[in-house]
Amino acid sequence: MKVFGFGLIFCAVAHCQSSIVQTRTIALIPSANPTPTPIPTPSSDPSSQHNRTRQSKHVHEFFKSFGWLQRDRTIKDGDLPAAIKKIQKVLNEPETGVYDERMETMMSRPRCGTEQPYNETDATLIGTAPHKRYVLWGPKWDHTSITYSFINYTGDLPSSRQQAIVSAAFAQWTQFLPISITPATAASSKTDIHIRFMSMGASESAYAFTNMIADGLSLSSGLINITFNDDYNWLDDRMFNFTAVHEIGHSLGLSHSKVENSIMWPYYEGIIRPMHPDDQAAVHTIYGWKNPRWKSIDANAGTKAIVHVSSSTTSTSSSAIDGLYQFRSTGQILWYNTAGTWVSVDNNKDTAQITGANGVLYQRHTDGSIYRYATQGAAWQNIGGPSESTIDIVAAADQIYQRRKDGWVARWSGTGQTWTAIEQPSAQISKQIAVTDNKTLWNLLSSGDVVRSEWPYSNGGWQIVDANAANVAIAVGGEEFYKLQSDGSVVWLDLTAYLWRIIENAGSVAIHGIGIYLYSRHKDGSVWRYTGTPDTWEQLDGVASSAGVVGDRKGAVWELLASGEVSRLVS
């Protein structure tokens, strides 16, 4: 893992100018005349094309979810194509005005029935101007100890199980906030948030809704109701949990988000996913951060680097190897266990680098030999012999790669000390590699060119993705690809339209990605977290002496200072 130097940061949300830059065409190396890459066109679902009533219903529901439609107003049939284009803009799809299969699939999912107040600014926004991803409802709680209670329960689950699920859902939010949310006691004079189940009728597609009643700038205690549709079966804990987390966001003052992977997106996939940076930025804007924001977990002047090992995105449980590791100048490697204690897993003066992914930790020695650690307490497995050609190693997905001085990249075969060379893309030397969860290998060359090779890396399979001498660094998060340019701009490759989109232009000097998270360090040492919106980043802290920042797939963040101190972001 390449560890970039990041700084600590203060609570803020920054907005920067978003631009679109046409990408260079993609072609196989060594072709000097790349052929154009076609822009995908939307597919239409013939059955849904003829069901105008269903389409209109879905479009109206979407508009009401975002406050784009005044009460008692409807969208005329002649205005539906324009309305569909507005939705397609949010979905980051070609704006054809044609209701297609992608829209039908998304809008047929379970949804939130909370209707936002009419937002004239957002409703009338047209053209290329971006919609703000998260929108704050307006009011917030004016006290920090908030209570809730159940009015009734569904018959689908034991009441104790329902209480446990809702308690865990509230904790999803309070882990980031300087507030507490607890069940109301019998002695409580008034409960802030009520939770209930009621029948909404067989034709109602909403799984739940939250009514928001406020007195001026404060939410009204006792008048905030989270209502679950009891016509649906709540035996599925995942759906119950996700729906509860979403509705609680409303009860804290959040509206719907336009980031599809966020908790506050109004349509449910029925999977439990981590809080999105968009959700965190929104709720921090309302309630601020916990104090102190960072907690020191170690201080040793010899600490040179920190890395985090996470299990694969498809894994249902964590590996025993998962967690935070530090590497010291003496060669010692330490693991931060779940009890909050640092445990030594190796101490070899020849160790030069550590990296890890998918529940496995690796180390490279000064002689180029490579070792693998997959079981706590077990011996390290030698998977690569000494080699003066090895520059560094990178772990990603379920693979381990090495960059070599001759410009080639190799990956471990999985047995013994056998490595498979991935054909050199050109005479240029590799400057940095990054690998997605699906094992697409990205390679930044010394010329600034960016090339990629898709699994299983067949010979001649390198593709030119960008030819730009201004490229200085690359990063991946999940399947997303980002690059940093010498002018300080951070650029995202939009693979749906094959466009480079500038998502930050604020003097970045380093970027780091993991899962859905992307971090950027600025010249002043501040570190920012991308919210998923090209013009919105959240500042985490700002310390010029930062030496590195790493994160996990759930949003946890750790920082290494030049002094050797290691800190964890509390909220």
Catalytic residues: 247
For residues 557 and 302, what is the distance between their CA atoms, to the nearest angstrom? Answer: 21
Q: How far is CA 511 from CA 19, 228, 500, 502, 523, in A?
A: 19, 41, 16, 14, 12
Is 346 known to sit in a ligand binding site?
A: no
DSSP 266: S
Is 256 known to sit in a ligand binding site?
A: yes
Is 365 known to sit in a ligand binding site?
A: no
Strands of 193-271 (E only): list them.
193-198, 206-211, 214-215, 218-219, 224-229
Is 278 known to sit in a ligand binding site?
A: no
Is 143 known to sit in a ligand binding site?
A: no
Is 200 known to sit in a ligand binding site?
A: no
3-state class (DSSP) for residue 419:
strand
Structure-block tokens of residue 533: 């919106």
Strands of 397-456 (E only): list them.
399-404, 409-412, 419-422, 430-435, 441-445, 450-453
* Per-residue burial over 318-338, b = 16 or more CB atoms within 10 Å of its CB, e = otherwise: ebebbbbbbbbeebbbbbbee
**8 Å CB contact between 113 and 208:** yes
Is 237 known to sit in a ligand binding site?
A: no
Peptide bond just before 34 cis, omega within 30 deg: no
**8 Å CB contact between 472 and 509:** no
Alpha helical stretches, state H, 66-109: 80-90, 101-107
Is 16 known to sit in a ligand binding site?
A: no
DSSP for 24-39 reads PPPEETT-SSPPPPPP
Beta bridge mates, 197:
228
Q: How far is CA 373 from CA 355, 364, 382, 400, in A?
A: 11, 12, 9, 12
Structure-block tokens of residue 495: 């693979």
Residues that constitute the known binding site for Ca(2+): 156, 192, 230
Residues that constitute the known binding site for Zn(2+): 112, 246, 250, 256, 264
Residues that constitute the known binding site: 112, 156, 192, 230, 246, 250, 256, 264
